[in-house]
Amino acid sequence: MEKEVKNLLLDLSQLISQKSRIWISPYGVEKILRAIKTTSDQWMIIRISEEPINVVNKTLEILLERKIVKVKNEKIYFTKRGREILKDINLEKIVKPECRKCEGRGINFKFDSKLYSTFLEIQKKRPKPLKKYDQGNVTPQTTIARVLLAMSHGDIENKEILILGAEDDLLGLALALTKKPKKILVLDIDKRLIDFDNYWAEKLKLNLKAEVFDLRRKLPKDLIGKFDVFFTDPSETVQSIKGFILKGIATLKSPGCVGYFGFTFKDSSLKKWYILQKILNNSKVVITEILREFNFYENWPYLEETKSFKESAAEKLPDKTIWYTSNWYRLVTLPGFKRINIDLLKYKGKKFYNDIENSTS
């Protein structure tokens, strides 16, 4: 019987990999099945399974075809036949043991702090996310948690900090509100965000400068080797890893400097995680932290236009519950680290914002 279960998971993993063109292991399939047992909400199945959105959608399509699951009132359930087929896999619900108060980040969050209340007020008029830049901001609590985490590492006080894109999270602004960094430079392609940052910087006399910059271009020479810390949260293509993360590393002053960025399981398979790992290894930086589900993203207004929605089984937009999360990396440069600052516009035809695994842009 055990052999039959193994074969079923193996067969499914091969079929899903073939149809989605994204690799998934039998173990990964088991996690999706466990996620279905845990929740009937398709977006939470994605979050809980920690498998790429495209893979989960393809899995649900196959399970629907085989009448192992059904959709009822826009929810996903195992059918009687499905429960019968899967009865020999002892599918346990996935119970996440994280602390609800801190949303699992391990940060003692003070909701009544001046920093949080000021940021909460300012961000109310933030520009809305745009599809053309693959925007989708994190929650205000996430932005402030990023500040507090970096502060706990000594990565803020008196530091020269660069933000590479993703300023829809308003992280540069939040860092400036602490008044602790020596200097903050924000580069982003979106003029609305640059104007927003500069408006508040002037109004509140913050130590922040924001400039429009397309990170596909080479960074100007005068930014190379000039910063202590960088932050970014790129779209998850190899081109974006090079455009944002490698450029961030190129701006760091010396060994021992620090970078932060987010990476998901939703838009990236484990094979892409491996590519990222190799790129980081080649650059001679070390990963000191990968914080699981540190970043919570608000739903973006163009979700309905994306593959993640169009190919979903229940075709239902998410409710207010956060389903899109990412893991937060912290890296440190080692002696001999490489500064790579390439012009990505030269590589015509290579996608910057999306690839076969990305379904939310």
> In whole angstroms, what is the distance from residue 251 CA to residue 190 CA?
21
Going by C-beta distance under 8 Å and a sequence separation of 6 or more, which residues neighbour residue 94? Answer: 31, 34, 35, 38, 48, 49
Residue 177 corresponds to which tokens in the numbers above? Answer: 């509100």
CA nearest to 233, candidates 168, 278, 292, 298: 168
Asked if 134 is part of the footprint of ligand SPD (rule: CB under 6 A), the reply reads yes
Q: Which among 96, 118, 108 has a CA at the least distance from the CA of 200? A: 118
Q: Nearer to ligand SPD by C-beta: 116 or 324?
A: 324
Q: Any contact of residue 43 with ligand SPD (CB under 6 A)?
A: no
Which residue in the set 17, 237, 264, 283 belongs to the binding site for ligand SPD (CB under 6 A)? 264
Any contact of residue 297 with ligand SPD (CB under 6 A)?
A: yes
Question: Pick from 82, 136, 248, 259: which binds ligand SPD (CB under 6 A)?
Answer: 136
Other Cβ atoms within 10 Å of 284 Cβ, number: 14
What radius of gyration do the chain's Cα atoms show? 21
* Choices 54-62, 65-73, 241-249, 260-268 (CB under 6 A): range interacting with ligand SPD: 260-268
Q: Is 154 exposed, middle or buried (0-12, 13-18, 19+ CB in 10 A)?
A: exposed
**Distance of closest approach, residue 53 Cβ to ligand SPD, in angstroms:** 10
Pick from 39, 237, 312, 326: which binds ligand SPD (CB under 6 A)? 326
Q: Which amino acid is at 66?
A: R
The one among 263, 294, 329, 337 contacting ligand SPD by CB under 6 A: 263
Nearer to ligand SPD, 35 or 166 (CB): 166
Of 82 and 234, nearer to ligand SPD (C-beta) is: 234
- Applying the rule CB under 6 A, the residues between 234 and 253 that interact with ligand SPD are 234, 236
Side by side, which strands form the sheet with 160-164?
A: 208-212, 183-188, 160-164, 229-232, 258-263, 325-333, 285-296
- How far lies 90's CA from each of 2, 40, 42, 99, in Å? 10, 18, 22, 27
CA nearest 257: which of 342, 154, 143?
154
Among 57, 59, 141, 361, binds ligand SPD (CB under 6 A): 361
Residues 218-237 that bind ligand SPD (CB under 6 A): 233-234, 236
Query: Which range in 62-70, 198-206, 258-266, 281-289 contacts ligand SPD by CB under 6 A?
Result: 258-266
Give the range of 47-55, 99-107, 251-259, 262-270 binding ligand SPD by CB under 6 A.
262-270
The footprint of ligand SPD on this chain (CB under 6 A) covers a number of residues equal to: 13
* Footprint of ligand SPD (CB under 6 A): 134, 136, 233-234, 236, 262-264, 297, 300, 326, 360-361
